A = this chain, B = another copy of it.
Amino acid sequence: MDNLLDQIKNIVGSNGILLGEDVTGRPDNWPPTGGCQAKAIIRPANTREVSGILKLCHAAGQSVVCHGGLTGLVGGARAGKDDIVISLERMNGMEPVDAVNRTVTVDAGIPLQKVHEAAEEADLLFPLDLGARGSCTIGGNISTNAGGNSVIRYGMIRDQLLGVEAVLADGTIISSLNGVIKNNTGYDLKQLFIGSEGTLGIVTRAVLRLRPLPRSCNTALVAIENFDQVGRFLRDMDSAMGGTMSAFEVMWNDFYRLIVGDGNKHGQPLGSDHGFYVLLESTGGHEESDKVRFEGALEEAFESELIVDAVIAQSKQQRENLWAVRDDIEGLTQILWPPIVFDISLGIPQMDDYVDEVRQQLADRWPDSVMVAFGHLGDGNIHLGITIGNHDPEEVHAVEAIVYEALGRRQGVISAEHGIGLDKREYLKHSRSVDEIALMKTLKQALDPKGILNPGKIFANQEDSPS
């Protein structure tokens, strides 16, 4: 064990440092491609210890990769053999929910689901939610600006965050544990640490904003013939429901047809010959009147011929069955094997034309390729699931080039909610200009002049070739 690790051990104790097989026995990433390659995994107990570790690493020029729940999808937490990992797994506590202020202060290593549970016990809601809720941590959610479900109503985690405590590369603790909504006292420093994937600092604590726990939930699946009508239906429903729409998920016909198939697995809630399917949901404060409003708004949409068929969930079970269609990613990837999946944003008016163009380009090159489109239309965020029948790196690269190039021409966004990490670094230029990337590097240089924090993520290191 080298001298630096000895000094770190003095800070965290022997329980706070993992070496050898304790390191390689852990996954390197998600989905794992092997064991963790880092020199050591350090497990600090509090912000002060994180600060002490970073002071030492900064002095030694030692690179550091921070680990939360390791559920990221872009290689943002991958560590090499020269890195040390700081895992926040022991920093997983929380203060009691402040039910009057409707806030809760948590350690960054706490799993998202624990926050859900604590909020709900206080009759409140922490609205950030995603599939990895049991494993992902608040610190990871912050460093990737997690989105997930309900963004149309509540926004990303950026909008749920009142204060942050973070440690800079040199060990300085920036404690901005602000608990109020309005704070215009100089620069809003917490923004630096949201979505910057651990490259500007390590978030150690956060003050989260909680919302009223909904008392009602109305869900429907509707069929629509053309894409213009989908856009108008979104706008009309959002207006009629007074801004309480909490989901507006669109499925292109190819997705729905693939998932529902012959109806064996999911039944066939609606016939499969319509252009588009929308799963929509609204939450509110009053069961009876919210239901009347929801059904009335759907009726209006029928009358104005925006929608052609609909099924409204009459029970919790029926609601789950409808969501199972949209959420059957396992079924989807089985059919689209091996899958290539994208997470993109673009303006709603450009969306249908974009999907058509990509589909056509893929078919031209791989006549047997399959592509389906679906996603959070209310947020301008869709997913593409594509298979070309193989996973040859060069061919996958060619698919990525088609998808991102057509997107770049429409001022689209190559990563709506997953971030850039290592895997999308090459394509950042399709969504960000040379000057924007240069400004990012200026910020990186100012906050982490030695480049020790999660090096090479988002963009190449200063000393590497430009990306």
Contact = CB atoms under 8 A, between A and B. Distances in A.
A317 interface: no
Nearest to A194: B188
Given A286-B293, A345-B180, A185 B243 contact: no
Given A242-B214, A411-B179, A144 B184 contact: yes
B183 A413 contact: yes
Given A185-B420, A194-B188, A289 B293 contact: yes
A242 B290 contact: yes
B182 A380 contact: yes
Contact of A439 (B153, B168, B349, B411): B168
B432 A182 contact: no
Contact of A436 (B147, B155, B176, B414): B176
A195 B184 contact: yes
B235 A179 contact: no
Copies in the complex: 2
Interface in A439-467: 439-440, 442-443, 445-447, 458-459
Interface residues of A, number: 105
A16 interface: no
Contacts of A243: 153, 211-212, 214, 244, 284-285
Nearest to A289: B289
A178 interface: yes
A145 interface: yes
A149 B446 CA distance: 37
A384 to B, nearest CB: 15
A304 to B, nearest CB: 14
A59 interface: no
A63 interface: no
A279 to B, nearest CB: 18
A215 B241 CA distance: 10
A435 to B, nearest CB: 5
Given A151-B181, A168-B439, A285 B433 contact: no
29 contacts: A98-B349, A100-B231, A100-B348, A144-B184, A145-B184, A158-B188, A172-B435, A172-B439, A179-B347, A180-B345, A182-B379, A182-B380, A182-B381, A184-B417, A184-B418, A184-B419, A186-B195, A187-B196, A191-B192, A214-B243, A239-B285, A240-B286, A242-B244, A242-B284, A242-B290, A243-B285, A286-B296, A439-B447, A442-B447
Interface of A: 98-103, 123, 144-145, 147, 151-153, 155-156, 158-159, 168, 172-189, 191-192, 194-196, 200, 211-216, 231-232, 235, 238-244, 283-286, 289-290, 292-293, 296-297, 345-349, 376, 379-381, 411-420, 424, 428, 431-433, 435-440, 442-443, 445-447, 458-459
Given A184-B415, A184-B416, 9 more contacts: A100-B347, A102-B235, A158-B188, A174-B435, A179-B380, A180-B381, A215-B240, A242-B285, A244-B284
